[in-house]
Amino acid sequence: MNRSIPLKIFFILRGKSTFWQSSESVISPFSNQTVSIKVHFMLEARHITFAPLFSDLSFSLRQKETLLVRGANGAGKSTFLRILAGLIRLKPNPLFWKGEAVHLSTYQQNLLYVGHKLALHPEALLKDQIKLWQYHTGVKRDTIEKALDLWGVASLFNKKIDQLSQGQRKRISLSRCQWLPRPLWILDEPHTSLDEAGLKVLEKALCDHREKGGLVILATHEKKPKGTQEILL
């Protein structure tokens, strides 16, 4: 069964864009004539199948748009997100970035992926984790520290990662949203383990990212915001 997301239902045109253009044919409700409109896509996924979890999933995202991925535990949400992040490779390649088939070396430089495994070194002090981030990304230390302060974990510099609570580790990992500039965010249940203060920081980060033209894909159990796409697994 084809479970693609219909463009005419889920997309809200948001003005001019400089990204890849595609033409879509629609029926005008006024003249009953078929007309062609130009649509600008940043990311497309075409007919993703990963048996037995899911099959024939497709969607397209443009600037400022969000895709929510929902489903019961074990339905394949995390697997689906890992495919979108290029961590699980399928043949033929189902991912297209700015109209071209994805090349992982460049595509992954455009995305931030935060999964259930938070990509933190458990034996490192937080200040040493910062040094690792600096080494791998080239981002300045004060930029990272400002983001950590925003998330309320700047005071933990001399603490080992594995001595922190799950909520504190989640905040540290999600701080990358503020200091690592990437147009595409892929977040696996980012709301989990966050307290009310952390949720407010996350929601503001998501809002600011979209306002700047960013794309967001996230698995969540939260209520579906108005104007977002949704895939049910």
pLDDT per residue as tens, the chain (233 positions): 444 333 222 222 232 333 333 444 444 444 555 544 444 579 999 999 999 999 999 999 999 999 999 888 888 999 999 999 999 999 999 999 999 999 998 999 999 999 999 999 999 999 999 999 999 999 999 999 999 999 999 999 999 999 999 999 999 999 999 999 999 999 999 999 999 999 999 999 999 999 999 999 999 876 665 666 777 77
Q: What is the pLDDT of residue 24?
A: 45
Strands 43-50 and 54-61: antiparallel
**How far apart are the C-alpha atoms of 178 and 144, rounded to whole Å?**
8
In the chain, what are the domains? 61-88+102-232 (3.40.50.300)
The whole-model pTM stands at 0.81
Region of 102 please: left (phi>0), alpha (psi -120 to 50) or beta.
beta
**How far apart are the C-alpha atoms of 115 and 190, rounded to whole Å?**
8
Q: What is the pLDDT of residue 222?
A: 66
**How far apart are the C-alpha atoms of 139 and 188, rounded to whole Å?**
24
Q: What is the pLDDT of residue 184?
A: 97
- Report the largest interatomic distance among the alpha carbons of the chain, rounded to a whole angstrom: 68
